[in-house]
Amino acid sequence: MTSVQSGSFWQHSQSYLDDEILIKKLLLSHDPDRRRLNSEMLLSAVENIVFHATASEELVSDKPVNANFKSNISNIELIESPEPLMHTIYKIAHEMLCKSPGEEDLHTRTMASLDLLGSHRWGAKAALALAAFAISYGEFSLLMQLRPHIPLAVSIANFKQIPSNMSMLKPQVRALRSLSKTMVDLTKCIIEFEALPLVHVGPDMEDLAVMKPKIYVTAYWIIRSTLVCSSQIKSLMAMKPEQVYSNITIAAWELLSLDNRLSSIYSHLRPQVDAFRRQTEAKMHQKLLSLFKKSHIDNQNVLQMLFALKDDLPLKDCSTQEKLGVSALKSKVVLLLISKPDLLPFEQLFFLVNQTYDHPHNDKIEGSYAIIWVPISFYEAWTDAEQKLFDFISNSMPCYLVRQPWSLNSAVVNFMKQEWNYGGEAIMVVLDSEGMITNLNALDMVFIWGSKAYPFSLSRENELWDGEQWKMQLITNEIHPILTQWVEEGRNICIYGSENLDWIREFNAKMKDIKDAGMQHEMIYVGKNNPGEHTKEILSIMNREIHSNLLSFTKIQLFWLRLESMRRSKSRLGNNASTDNVVAQVSALLDNNNDNGWAVYGKGLSTDIVRVEGDEIFRCLNLFRQWGENVGRLEFIDALRTVLEPPLVDGPCNHTQVVPYSEGLVQGNMVCQNCKLLMKKFTIYE
């Protein structure tokens, strides 16, 4: 980073005040304690007032009104302070308005204000002073805007002897608007600089030694300017009619002079703060890279760097609304759910909660892991809509979350995007109890297995797949409690899908005939991949006509979500449809666009599953009398297979298969893999 050089302002300012003496006095008034203010949010509230104030009929701001959520004063926290935020602001406003301009010189009044703000950091001092000024400025502007329309405003303006000719005030109001914008921009510089995690990255001490005094002097001139602006607003109420023109001209000149001075400060300070930020972000990125390559005693260093650079209590437990530090996560596996502020579609969010906190397996590992929601704005700055979504979802989530995600360090956000490949789609990064990354995206395995996937590592994902086969339990796991029960009980289950209502009616009618003939089975309709409004209409009709609709529309969405998760999970592990049966079967269902529908037949925990598509289904069902005779001797699936899969040999089949004796096998039956017919049974003695 280029060393900071003294600019023309810093030389020029010495003709007014000896900077060295001023800095010593400023440091004597500066005694910050543990109180902390969200200065950025307060400044945004000030900015809204300023630009709303200048959006009147003739003096419309050339900048769009900022309707950002941060204008809500109730969102702004002043932590560990003996007095409320507004009490502090009103004290400063009193200092600004309750002393006559000639009572004390401007420098003395500025230092008195700084003494009142001595317990705060420099950015907070400037923001609080601007807030105090914004109250009087906003009230004055509101009165001016309402006066042409509301009699009450006319009466109050006359009572306060405010000039009625708005056109005469144009020069002063324009100068006031320009100076206000410059003060806000300068305060942003100070807040951004103080928010940099310089302690964590080891800045260049020489550059820092040059930069800090400039921050002190900048804060001084901002607060001094707020006093001038407030005095001018107060003076408008005491002007005699013959003094209005000359006084407004002098006032406008004074404001423009201050604006030029502050603009000169800004032109030098802004690039220097930007240079510090770029240097700090680069060092932070390297430090984070290094941090995740080393082993640690616990996860505290890692979590501190990610979340607690600006706030000792960066997290919130949504279920209790309690503010938490990262120490609450010590010795836990931490799942970082990184997403946009709207998190996930409702059905996915519902399923995520169901698969973790409400999962039966969760009782065995409760307290061993924690999910932290880390929302990241889609834009450079959080919008009002994003904040509303965040507030709504955060009040209903059972997990932890980053309490003020807009305050996350930009280097941390960029690290997540670059190193963890976060691009807007939700991911779940897993940190073990020592802070090491064990999985860059465990979201799919959570959708598939829920808390059974603990500790959610990549090795655990491989382990779970090694024990899985294509069976009804995998297809339907945790979608619906009754469906899970049917699988465990070993019932015959038929899952079918289509958006052709005629096909659905005919299919259900034929399956009912089979059931009436004594073949018991359960029917589950799941529509097709990416179900929409048409699926909802079909469900409604099925409820009226067929009365066999187990799954709701949301549950159907979850069915397809799990299948998508299976394919993504398998794909990340290097499997594809040509080498993996689960991928092949899942892809066949996900990619099926056949209007004539499909069906999957299976029983309980058996891996013997039959998938039938299109017209082939009705061909099989129409031949039920032929293969139905085998149901009594064979399992339902085996009997169905005798029609679905033609014999692989011509003529008599001489295939034999020796099966070792086991208890209960004497009464069993087997289907020949070649001719698909029931095999005759013989006993061989050795």
What confidence tens digit (pLDDT) does each residue in 188-210 have?
Answer: 999 999 988 887 777 777 888 88
pLDDT given at position 92: 87
Lowest mean pLDDT among 17-26, 495-504, 601-610: 17-26
Under DSSP, the state recorded for 371 is E
- Summarised one tens digit per residue, pLDDT across range 341-359 is 988 877 788 788 878 877 6
pLDDT given at position 237: 60
Q: Do 269 and 221 share a structural domain?
A: yes
Mean pLDDT over 485-497 rounds to 89
For the chain, the farthest-separated pair of C-alpha atoms sits apart, in whole angstroms, at 128
pLDDT given at position 651: 55
Assess contact for 629 and 521: CB atoms under 8 A: no
Read off the pLDDT band of 430 (50, 70, 90).
Answer: very high
pLDDT given at position 11: 47
Assess contact for 646 and 676: CB atoms under 8 A: yes
Lowest mean pLDDT among 158-172, 505-519, 587-601, 648-662: 648-662
Q: Which of 573-582, 642-651, 663-672 has the highest mean pLDDT?
A: 573-582
The runs of H, that is alpha helices, within 312-407 are 346-356, 362-365, 384-394
Higher pLDDT pick, 239 / 79: 79
Mean pLDDT over 107-112 rounds to 90
Higher pLDDT pick, 263 / 172: 263
pLDDT given at position 392: 84
Higher pLDDT pick, 394 / 123: 123
Kindly tell me if the per-residue pLDDT of 327 is higher than 60. Answer: yes
pLDDT given at position 675: 59
Is 31 contained in some domain?
A: no
Mean pLDDT over 34-43 rounds to 83
Of 439, 463, 487, which residue is a domain's last?
463
Token duo for residue 471: 């069976």
pLDDT given at position 319: 82
- Summarised one tens digit per residue, pLDDT across range 597-636 is 899 988 888 888 888 887 787 777 776 666 555 555 556 6
Lowest mean pLDDT among 11-20, 261-270, 461-470: 11-20
Q: Do 533 and 427 share a structural domain?
A: no
Kindly tell me if the per-residue pLDDT of 670 is higher than 70. Answer: no
Is 293 contained in some domain?
A: no
Tally the domains of the chain. Answer: 4
Closest CA to 299 of 370, 236, 195: 370
pLDDT given at position 236: 67
Higher pLDDT pick, 131 / 144: 131
| 648-680 core/surface letters (b: 16 or more CB in 10 A; e: else) | eeeeebeeeeeeeeeeeeeeeeebbeebbebbe
Is 71 contained in some domain?
A: no
Lowest mean pLDDT among 24-33, 226-235, 389-398, 626-635: 626-635
Location of structure tokens 């009619």:
241
What is d(CA 273, CA 136) in angstroms, rounded to the nearest whole number?
31
Read off the pLDDT band of 69 (50, 70, 90).
Answer: very low
Higher pLDDT pick, 173 / 678: 173
Read off the pLDDT band of 129 (50, 70, 90).
Answer: very high
Of 425, 440, 463, which residue is a domain's last?
463
Q: Do 402 and 367 share a structural domain?
A: yes
φ, ψ for residue 191, nearest 5 deg? -60, -45
Lowest mean pLDDT among 317-326, 355-364, 550-559: 355-364
Lowest mean pLDDT among 242-256, 283-297, 302-316, 559-573: 242-256
pLDDT given at position 355: 82
Mean pLDDT over 135-152 rounds to 79
Kindly tell me if the per-residue pLDDT of 432 is higher than 90. Answer: yes
What is d(CA 39, CA 188) in angstroms, rounded to the nearest whole number?
9
Q: Do 309 and 373 share a structural domain?
A: yes
pLDDT given at position 173: 80
523 DSSP β-pair partners: 494
Strand order through the sheet with 333-339: 322-324, 315-317, 400-402, 369-375, 333-339, 427-431, 437-439
pLDDT given at position 332: 93
Is 397 contained in some domain?
A: yes
374 DSSP β-pair partners: 338
**Residue 46, number of CB atoms within 10 A of its CB:** 28
Q: Do 206 and 148 share a structural domain?
A: yes
Of 444, 463, 482, which residue is a domain's last?
463
What is d(CA 115, CA 112) in angstroms, rounded to the nearest whole number?
5
**Domain CATH for 310:** 3.40.30.10
Token duo for residue 336: 């970082």
What is d(CA 542, CA 166) in angstroms, rounded to the nearest whole number?
70
Residue type, 587: S
How does the average pLDDT of the chain come out, rounded? 81
What is d(CA 343, CA 314) in angstroms, rounded to the nearest whole number?
19
Kindly tell me if the per-residue pLDDT of 484 is higher than 80. Answer: yes
Is 65 contained in some domain?
A: no
pLDDT given at position 185: 94
Mean pLDDT over 129-139 rounds to 88
Q: Do 329 and 276 share a structural domain?
A: no
Kindly tell me if the per-residue pLDDT of 68 is higher than 50. Answer: no
Sign of the C-alpha dihedral computed for residues 477, 483, 489 and 490 taken in this order? negative
What is d(CA 201, CA 199) in angstroms, rounded to the nearest whole number?
6
- Summarised one tens digit per residue, pLDDT across range 280-305 is 889 999 999 999 988 889 999 999 99
Is 196 contained in some domain?
A: yes
Is 94 contained in some domain?
A: yes
Q: Do 655 and 640 share a structural domain?
A: no
Read off the pLDDT band of 367 (50, 70, 90).
Answer: confident
What is d(CA 19, CA 214) in angstroms, rounded to the nearest whole number?
9
Q: Do 305 and 239 share a structural domain?
A: no
Percentage of the residues of the chain whose pLDDT score is greater than 70: 80
Q: How far is CA 488 from CA 58, 403, 477, in A?
A: 75, 42, 11
Q: Do 313 and 193 share a structural domain?
A: no
Q: Do 437 and 313 share a structural domain?
A: yes
Range of the domain at 552: 472-646
Kindly tell me if the per-residue pLDDT of 158 is higher than 80. Answer: no
Kindly tell me if the per-residue pLDDT of 388 is higher than 90. Answer: no
What is d(CA 115, CA 129) in angstroms, rounded to the nearest whole number?
12
What is d(CA 315, CA 160) in angstroms, rounded to the nearest whole number?
48
Under DSSP, the state recorded for 680 is P
Find how far residue 632's CA is from the centre of its chain: 56
Assess contact for 299 and 291: CB atoms under 8 A: no
Report helix, strand or coil for 274.
Answer: helix
Q: Do 662 and 544 share a structural domain?
A: no
- Summarised one tens digit per residue, pLDDT across range 248-263 is 778 888 899 999 999 9
Is 657 contained in some domain?
A: yes
pLDDT given at position 14: 45
Read off the pLDDT band of 401 (50, 70, 90).
Answer: very high
Q: Do 612 and 538 share a structural domain?
A: yes
| 176-203 core/surface letters (b: 16 or more CB in 10 A; e: else) | bbbbbbbbbebbbbbbbbbbbbbebbeb
pLDDT given at position 384: 79
Lowest mean pLDDT among 460-464, 511-515, 662-666: 662-666
